[in-house]
Chain A
Amino acid sequence: MKTSFSPYAQTMGFEEQRDADGRLIIAMPYCDGVRGRPGFVHGGALAGLLETIAYATLSEALGEDDRPLIKPVNVTATYMRGAVEVTTYAQATIERLGKRIANIEAIAWQDDINKPVAMAQINVMLDRSGRS
Chain B
Amino acid sequence: MEEFPPEFDPARLIQTMSRNGHNKLIGTRYHGHGDGWCELALPYSETLVTDTASGILASGPIFTLMDMATSLSIWLKTGTFQPQATLDLRIDYLRPARPGNTVIAHGECYHVTKSIAFIRGHAHDGDPEKPIAHVAGTYFFTASA
- The interface of chain A, by Cβ under 8 A from chain B, is 6-12, 32-36, 42-45, 47-49, 51-52, 71-79, 82
Is the interface on chain B under 10, 10 to 19, 20 to 34, or 35 or more residues? 20 to 34
- Which positions in B face A, CB cutoff 8 Å? 20-26, 46-52, 58-61, 63-65, 67-68, 85-93, 96
Q: A44-B68, A79-B87 are in contact. Are A52 and B20 (CB under 8 A)?
A: no
Q: Other CB < 8 Å A-B pairs besides A33-B22, A44-B64, A52-B60, 18 of them?
A: A7-B46, A8-B61, A33-B25, A42-B21, A42-B22, A42-B23, A42-B67, A43-B86, A48-B60, A51-B58, A51-B63, A72-B93, A74-B93, A75-B63, A76-B88, A76-B90, A77-B86, A78-B87
Q: A33-B25, A76-B88, A78-B87 are in contact. Are A7 and B60 (CB under 8 A)?
A: no
**B46 neighbours in A (Cβ, 8 Å):** 7
Q: For A31, give the chain B residue with the smallest CB separation.
A: B25
Residues of B within 8 A of A10 (CB): 47
Residues on the A chain within 8 Å of B85, using CB: 79, 82
Q: CA A76 – CA B25 in complex, angstroms?
A: 23
B22/A77 in contact, CB under 8 A: no
The answer to whether B64 touches A48 (Cβ under 8 A) is yes
| 21 chain-A/chain-B pairs, Cβ below 8 angstroms | A6-B51, A7-B46, A7-B50, A8-B49, A11-B25, A11-B47, A32-B21, A33-B22, A36-B21, A43-B86, A43-B89, A44-B61, A47-B89, A48-B58, A52-B60, A71-B93, A73-B92, A74-B90, A75-B63, A79-B88, A82-B85
